[in-house]
Amino acid sequence: MSALRWTVSDTLTLARRDLLHWRYEPARIAWSLAFPVMSILLFGYVFGSAIVVPGGQDYREYLMPGLFVMAAAFGISETLFGIAMDAERGITNRLRAMPMSRVAILGGGCLAAMVNALINFVVMIAMGLIVGWSWHDGVANALLAVLLLLLLRFSVLWIGIWVGLKISSIEAAGNVSGLLFPFTMISSIFVSPSQMPGWLQTIAEWNPLSSTVGAARELFGNGDPASSSWIAQHAVLMAIVWPLLLTAVFAPLAVRRYQAMSR
């Protein structure tokens, strides 16, 4: 068999390994479902009743695209844990000392993460429909929104791999994951940045997550940007540019970090 075919075969084998984990750990599935459910309850119903959306539209309509993006961002922590655990346990070294494709060692995890993300989005969309959220701008735009969400998930994957290889410890992975939360708060995920103080509004609008949130709201027909700033007005464009930029920076960093293991 050619090298390329082995790369594909090894990638599939390792992706299957990650997906098998879900079968053995139903608790993890329950958790990954519990998180969006809790978010919908907490933000949609508890805080949501006190939040006024500019334009006066239903908060849960407004919130769901934000929660989709939050799920994509929290995907970092899943990748981070997987990579750090394999490195700490010596599984990465075991794979590196085997005659398998080296590309597949990272590729398998990426593929599994994307499959997971897709399943996760489908489940969240179903839950959104249950609480009254829907898309209003046609199926084509809705699918485009899902594609942009997957693109974001793909770009943050590389951040997870890079950081995971850098720290190589399960404990540190837990600490780093905690940093994700503030990053999701200072964005347009939960509230419109136009209601924040001026300087914070700028930071929140330029948060790469906000562009995908804005794009998803636009494409699903879930509300206006409510801001006249350039970045808010070009959400769809930036929802493509930001992830490509993140990938262009972090994918080479991750690959270099991986190659540095033999130095």
State the residues that interact with other proteins by CB under 8 A: 1, 6, 9-10, 13-14, 17, 20-21, 24-25, 88-91, 93-100, 168, 260-263
Residue 151: closest CA among 15, 244, 253:
244
Angle at 66 between CA 62 and CA 72, to 5 degrees: 155
Nearer to other proteins, 55 or 174 (CB): 174
Which residues, including other chains, have CB under 8 Å from residue 9's CB and lie 6 or more apart? 1
20's tokens: 């098998």
Name the minimum Å distance from CB 49 to other proteins.
Answer: 41
Give the residue with the Cβ less far from other proteins, 94 or 136: 94
CB 101 within 8 A of CB 256: no
Please report how close the Cβ of residue 78 comes to other proteins at its closest, in angstroms.
14
Choose between 51 and 103: whose C-beta lies nearer to other proteins. Answer: 103
- Residue closer to other proteins (CB basis): 168 or 229: 168
Task: Please identify, using beta-carbon distances, which residue of 10 and 205 lies nearer to other proteins.
Answer: 10
Contact at 8 Å (CB) between 102 and 96? yes
* Cβ partners under 8 Å of residue 69, min gap 6: 149, 152, 184, 187, 189, 209, 212, 213, 216
Q: How far is the CB of 176 from other proteins (least distance, A)?
A: 16
Q: Closest distance between other proteins and the C-beta of residue 99, in Å?
A: 4
CB of 192 to other proteins, least distance (A): 42
CA distance 66 to 56: 17
Of 5 and 136, CB closest to other proteins: 5
Three-state DSSP class for residue 189:
coil
Residue 15: exposed, middle, or buried by beta-carbon count in 10 A (0-12, 13-18, 19+)?
Answer: buried
Nearest distance from C-beta of residue 86 to other proteins, angstroms: 9
